[in-house]
């Protein structure tokens, strides 16, 4: 069961990473309008790569949810952040992006970190928490929503960082909510406040992440998202939900988590493949835009 859960977390990262590249391919071929054009989504939905990428995002979410049924939050969230490594590697083949030696080292660090986390993680059952705890989570999502709305009025890098933080917290609450869901039976899900935490957290995360990428720095936004969506759930899991490593493997888990997150941060420019151009190589030959 533990091995299957680890595979589920890795599958989620692969789905998210490949989906990003497929959606970038679709976005490149869509006509560019002035300002925010709601019709862009309609045009993208007519393109097979975008539809397939969205389907992979949905599949990745369910793989993440399945992994959270028996793995600690710090393992699953580090694995999800590893989708940037997947995006980088796939972008090399599909978008003809060039990775620097530092970025290839970051990909290797992510892989090594995930291997360490896999060796050190123990089996967890869905966390048993009170109704009050779930309602507090829902209130926290509301606070993040208000904070993100205020952050949207800032300017420059401060706006990118603040919106990225709000988006990362939203994604983090999706993971925490998923971790405390006790039953996947449809009627139980409807009555469980944790599922509303998941839904609301995903909504605000998507809204603020998209807004930040549209109006600010991809690297700053993605970096703050990675930090918030990994560190906050990890701390909640360890301090409040009883997440633990295997006996004697705390040090290995800590090193693995740090490697995976540091590698993901190094690859932050892949947060949106079509949003930010890569650095021009020494030969002066331009590269394709990447995330």
Mean pLDDT, the chain, as a whole number? 82
The pLDDT, as a whole number, for residue 175 is: 93
* b (16+ CB within 10 A) / e for 189-223: eeebbbbbbbebbbebbebbbebbbeebbbbbbbb
- The closest alpha carbon to 21, from 271, 260, 281, 287, belongs to 271
As a whole number of angstroms, the distance between CA 230 and CA 79 comes to 9
What confidence score (pLDDT) does residue 155 get? 81
Q: Does pLDDT of 93 surpass 60?
A: yes
- pLDDT, residue 45, reads 67
192: left (phi over 0), alpha (psi -120 to 50) or beta: beta
- Separation of CA 185 from chain center: 26
- pTM equals 0.80
Give the C-alpha separation, 291 to 218, whole Å.
7
pLDDT in tens, 189-239: 899 999 999 999 988 888 888 777 666 677 888 889 999 999 999 999 989
What is the bridge-based pairing of β-strands 276-277 and 289-290?
Answer: antiparallel
């Amino acid at each position: 069961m533990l091995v299957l859960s680890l595979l589920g977390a890795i599958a989620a990262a692969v789905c998210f990473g490949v989906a990003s590249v497929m959606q970038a391919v679709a976005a490149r071929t869509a006509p560019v309008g002035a300002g925010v054009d709601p019709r862009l989504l309609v045009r993208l939905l007519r393109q097979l790569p975008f539809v397939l990428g969205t389907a992979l995002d949905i599949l990745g979410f369910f793989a993440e949810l399945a992994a959270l049924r028996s793995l600690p939050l710090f393992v699953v969230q580090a694995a999800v952040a590893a989708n940037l490594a997947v995006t980088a590697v796939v972008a090399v083949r599909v978008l003809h992006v060039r990775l620097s030696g530092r970025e290839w080292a970051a990909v290797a660090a992510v892989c090594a970190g995930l291997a360490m986390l896999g060796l050190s993680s123990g089996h967890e059952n869905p966390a048993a928490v009170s109704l009050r705890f779930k309602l507090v989570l829902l209130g926290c999502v509301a606070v993040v929503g208000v904070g993100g709305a205020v952050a949207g009025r800032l300017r420059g890098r401060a706006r990118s960082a603040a919106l990225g933080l709000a988006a990362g917290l939203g994604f983090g609450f999706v993971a925490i909510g998923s971790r405390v869901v006790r039953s996947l039976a449809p009627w139980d899900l409807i009555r469980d406040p944790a599922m509303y935490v998941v839904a609301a957290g995903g909504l605000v995360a998507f809204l603020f992440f998209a807004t930040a990428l549209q109006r600010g720095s991809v690297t700053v936004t993605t970096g703050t998202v990675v930090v918030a969506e990994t560190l906050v759930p990890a701390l909640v899991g360890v301090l409040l939900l009883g997440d633990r490593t295997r006996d004697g493997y705390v040090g290995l888990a800590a090193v693995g988590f740090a490697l995976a997150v540091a590698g993901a941060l190094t690859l932050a420019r892949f947060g949106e493949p079509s949003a930010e151009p890569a650095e021009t190589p020494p030969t002066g030959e331009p590269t394709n835009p990447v995330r």
